[in-house]
Structure 1
Amino acid sequence: MQSITFPGDGTVVLTEQPTPVPGPGEALVKIRASGMCGSDLHFLHGSFPVDPSVVQGHEPCGEVVAVGDGVPESQVKPGDRVLVHHYFGCGHCRRCRQGWPQMCETAPAATMAVDAAGGHAPYAAIPASSLFPMPDGLSFKAGAAIGCGTGTAWGAIKRAGGVEDTVTVVFGQGPVGLSATMFATALGARVIAVDIDDARLAKAREFGAVLTVNPRTENLVEKVSEITSGRLAEVVLETSGRAGDDVFTVLGTFGTAVFVGLPGEALFTTQAIYKKQWTMLTSWTCSSVELERCAAFVVAHDLPVDDLYSHTWRIEQAEEAYEWFGRQDAGKGVFEFD
Structure 2
Amino acid sequence: MRGVVFTGDRQLEIMSFPDPTPGFGEVVLEMKASGMCGSDLKQYRRPKGVRQNNGLATPVGPTIAGHEPCGVVAAIGPGVDPRQAQVGQRVMVHHYQGCTTCNHCRTGWQQLCQQTSVKVYGNNSHGGHANYMCVPANTLVPLPEALSFTAGAAISCGTGTAYGALRRMNISGNDTIAIFGQGPVGLSATQLATAMGARVIALDISPQRLERAREFGAAETINPSNADPVEAIRDLTHGLGADLTLDTSSSPQARIQAIRALKVWGTCCFVGEGGEVTIDVSPDMLRRQATVIASWTFSNVGQAECARFIIDRKLSVDSLFTDQWKLDQAEEAYKLFDQQNTGKGVFLM
- TM-score bucket of the superposed structures, by smaller chain: over 0.9
Match status 1:324 vs 2:333:
no
* C-alpha contact 1:32 1:336 (8 A) present in aligned 2: yes
The equivalences for 1:1-338 within 5 A come to: 1-46=1-46, 48-49=52-53, 51=59, 53-242=62-251, 243-272=254-283, 273-337=285-349
Partner amino acid, structure 1, of 2:28: L
Q: Secondary structure at the match of 1:12?
A: strand
Cα distance in 2 between the residues matched to 1:162 and 1:91: 31
List 4+ stretches of structure 1 deviating above 6 A.
Answer: none
Change in CA separation of 1:164 and 1:97 when aligned onto 2, cut-off 3 Å: farther
Cα distance in 2 between the residues matched to 1:105 and 1:147: 22
Cα distance in 2 between the residues matched to 1:277 and 1:9: 43
Q: Secondary structure at the match of 2:346?
A: strand
Q: Secondary structure at the match of 1:119?
A: coil
* C-alpha contact 2:5 2:15 (8 A) present in aligned 1: yes
Change in CA separation of 1:216 and 1:45 when aligned onto 2, cut-off 3 Å: closer
Cα distance in 1 between the residues matched to 2:274 and 2:172: 25
Q: Secondary structure at the match of 2:292?
A: strand
Change in CA separation of 1:259 and 1:15 when aligned onto 2, cut-off 3 Å: same
Cα distance in 2 between the residues matched to 1:267 and 1:46: 24
Residue 153 of structure 1: how far off its partner (Å): 0.6
TM-score normalized by the length of structure 2: 0.93
Q: Secondary structure at the match of 2:188?
A: helix
Residue 113 of structure 1: how far off its partner (Å): 1.6
Q: Secondary structure at the match of 2:115?
A: coil
* C-alpha contact 1:191 1:209 (8 A) present in aligned 2: yes
Partner amino acid, structure 2, of 1:40: D
Cα distance in 2 between the residues matched to 1:244 and 1:319: 31
* C-alpha contact 2:209 2:341 (8 A) present in aligned 1: no
Overall identity of the aligned pairs, in %? 45
Partner amino acid, structure 1, of 2:342: A
Residue 332 of structure 1: how far off its partner (Å): 1.3
Cα distance in 2 between the residues matched to 1:172 and 1:201: 9
Cα distance in 2 between the residues matched to 1:256 and 1:28: 41
Cα distance in 2 between the residues matched to 1:203 and 1:59: 22
* C-alpha contact 1:244 1:264 (8 A) present in aligned 2: no
Question: Structure 2: which 5+ runs fail to align?
Answer: none
Cα distance in 2 between the residues matched to 1:332 and 1:319: 15
Cα distance in 1 between the residues matched to 2:214 and 2:15: 41
Partner amino acid, structure 2, of 1:7: T
* C-alpha contact 1:91 1:97 (8 A) present in aligned 2: yes
Residue 39 of structure 1: how far off its partner (Å): 1.7
* C-alpha contact 2:31 2:131 (8 A) present in aligned 1: yes
Residue 213 of structure 1: how far off its partner (Å): 0.6
* C-alpha contact 1:233 1:255 (8 A) present in aligned 2: yes
Change in CA separation of 1:29 and 1:177 when aligned onto 2, cut-off 3 Å: same
Bigger Cα displacement from structure 2, 43-52 vs 276-285: 43-52
Change in CA separation of 1:114 and 1:225 when aligned onto 2, cut-off 3 Å: closer
Q: Secondary structure at the match of 2:259?
A: helix
Bigger Cα displacement from structure 2, 46-55 vs 316-325: 46-55
Q: How many residues align?
A: 337
* C-alpha contact 2:172 2:197 (8 A) present in aligned 1: yes
Q: What CA RMSD, in Å, does the superposition of the two structures yield over aligned residues?
A: 1.4
Residue 221 of structure 1: how far off its partner (Å): 3.4
